Amino acid sequence: AALWTYPLTPVVLSSRSYVAGRQCKSTAKLDGKVVIITGANTGIGKETARDLAGRGKVIVACRDVAKAEAAASEIRAETGNQQVIVKKLDLADTKSIREFADNFLAEEKDLHILINNAGVMLCPYSKTADGFEMHLGVNHLGHFLLTFLLLERLKQSAPARIVNVSSLAHHVGRIRFHDLHGEKSYNRGLAYCHSKLANVLFTRELARRLQGKSQRRAEQFSAWLLSITANSLHPGSVYSELVRYSFVMTWLWRIFSFFLKTPREGAQTSLYCAVAEELESVTGQYFSDCRPAYVSPQGRDDETAKKLWNVSCELLGIQWD
């Protein structure tokens, strides 16, 4: 066995390095800045919070407050930053989203980075408190509403960034306007893919609208260009709790864990989009492995993006022009 171990070691190390991918190398500090990360009590969200807590103030926004407090306590002890604050946020309930936003706006004067990270995957068919299919409701509509409610504070704090965690799975997704909530037919794998495509389209349309308004404001007032960027990303295939609703996927994830990114490795592109200096004026893009990545044709469909925006507003009962 020893004879085989030595020559294979470089191969193993090289393979593991390839799986781990690129790292966010920015050392940017966030002194005096405020970050919100949804779903930051586990997985890549927790690792994103851990890194950013070494740079500035972090709001950990989670449904499971007890689990979030345990994660926040661990991060505080490790980083020495006491400004890691847990707030209740259930993205499957618009009432909870509005309560979170109201409390945040009452307590915090600034918001510089919003990382829409939380998500569900492979859920058996179910609906949110408001009657939305769970994947669409949590992964897309919940973050759509949260961003809407916090956008003015982001504008007041500009330059600011919005980071939406999507997935390579968006390539398989389609926006099925005739059956958004899967009432006619439902496949939980495809439902996840559809919601991840919605993340990409939302980011694209949000960036377009923000960019247009910024340009008009600068032209009208000859003022400094309002700087709010919105980008989406694929974190990689990460060994995390996201597959917990599927026994088969959980089993496969354990067997092939060597070929999956750790949560820390999976957090690198989120961090890159949140703090990298070279992305200061980059918006409406999709990243993977800390660099621009290919977007599927359906993810570049501006008409679908506009229609999804309007339908999302109707479902949530909001006006967002």
Q: 3-state SS of the chain: helix, strand, coil percent to 5?
A: 55, 15, 30
What are the angstrom distances between the C-alpha of 229 and each of 98, 127, 205, 279?
23, 31, 12, 9
**Could you give phi then psi for residue 241, rounded to 5 degrees?**
-80, 0
Spatial neighbors of 38 by CB under 8 A, at least 6 apart, are: 45, 61, 62, 89, 91, 115, 116, 117, 118, 143, 146
The residues assigned a catalytic role are: 192
Q: What is the 3-state secondary structure (H, E, C) of 258-319?
A: HHCECHHHHCHHHHHHHHCHHHCCCCCCEEECCEECCCCHHHHCHHHHHHHHHHHHHHHCCC
Greatest CA separation found in the chain?
74
Q: 115 and 30 in contact (C-beta within 8 Å)?
A: no
What are the angstrom distances between the C-alpha of 46 and each of 41, 74, 226, 254, 274?
5, 10, 30, 20, 15
